Amino acid sequence: MKVVLLPGFNGAAEQPILVRLSARLEARGASCLRLAPPRLKLDAALSLYVAWLQEALRPLTGPLVLVGRSFGGRVALRVAESPRVRALVLLGFPLRPPGRSRPLDEQALLAVRCPTLVVQGTRDPLGPLEAFAPALAANPLLEVQRVEGAAHAFGRQEAAALDAVAGWLGDTVGLPGAR
């Protein structure tokens, strides 16, 4: 099983949190691929990024786990409908930025059909924890792991976020040595 990691908006494959997560998972025997999306303008990015990711995943064989950081999670969520995707991890999911709603993201969380972990800081202004309550109540495949004191980028609590991901992947999809 390959773990595909996607950075936040206009981020690089070398986004530090993804580098550290892939190193941690690879040290335990996982096969990881960090993808670098094209640079896009925000107003057209979501649909173009989804199309780009679908094309990038096409040559990969076997089951996949998708890990999306921030905006990368919004894209991964839309691609997770593929039967090849066995699990989905959303790191700092920007479900409701201040003054904005994202009803399509909320609908996508309700509709996700693979085990999905949202790792969310308790101080993340882009995805307040209470915004996830309706999807959590309605979709048994969805789980939220709170990272106490963390904001959107996790900061000093990053290790706790990465521990949550690695443990959950071990428990959920049997990723080698994840626990």
Q: How far apart are CA 160 and CA 23, in angstroms?
A: 15
Mean pLDDT of 172-179: 72
Q: What confidence score (pLDDT) does residue 69 get?
A: 97
Instruction: Kindly give the residue spans of alpha helices, DSSP state H, lying in the chain.
Output: 16-27, 42-57, 71-79, 103-111, 133-138, 158-173
Q: For the chain, give the percent of residues with pLDDT over 90.
A: 84
Q: Quick one: CATH architecture of 2-173? A: 3-Layer(aba) Sandwich (3.40)
Closest to 32 in 3D by CA, of 55, 60, 53, 54: 60
Q: How far apart are CA 91 and CA 77, in angstroms?
A: 11
In the chain, what are the domain boundaries?
2-173
Where residue 127 falls among pLDDT bands split at 50, 70, 90? Answer: very high
HSE-CB for 69 with a 13 A CA cutoff = 29
Q: What confidence score (pLDDT) does residue 175 get?
A: 78
Q: What confidence score (pLDDT) does residue 156 get?
A: 96
The secondary structure element, H or E, covering residue 85 is: strand 85-91
Q: What is the pLDDT of residues 16-67, one digit of tens each?
A: 999 999 999 999 899 999 998 887 776 667 888 899 999 999 999 999 999 9
Reported pTM: 0.94
Mean pLDDT of 99-103: 91
Mean pLDDT of 135-143: 97
Q: For the chain, give the percent of residues with pLDDT over 70.
A: 96
Where residue 177 falls among pLDDT bands split at 50, 70, 90? Answer: low
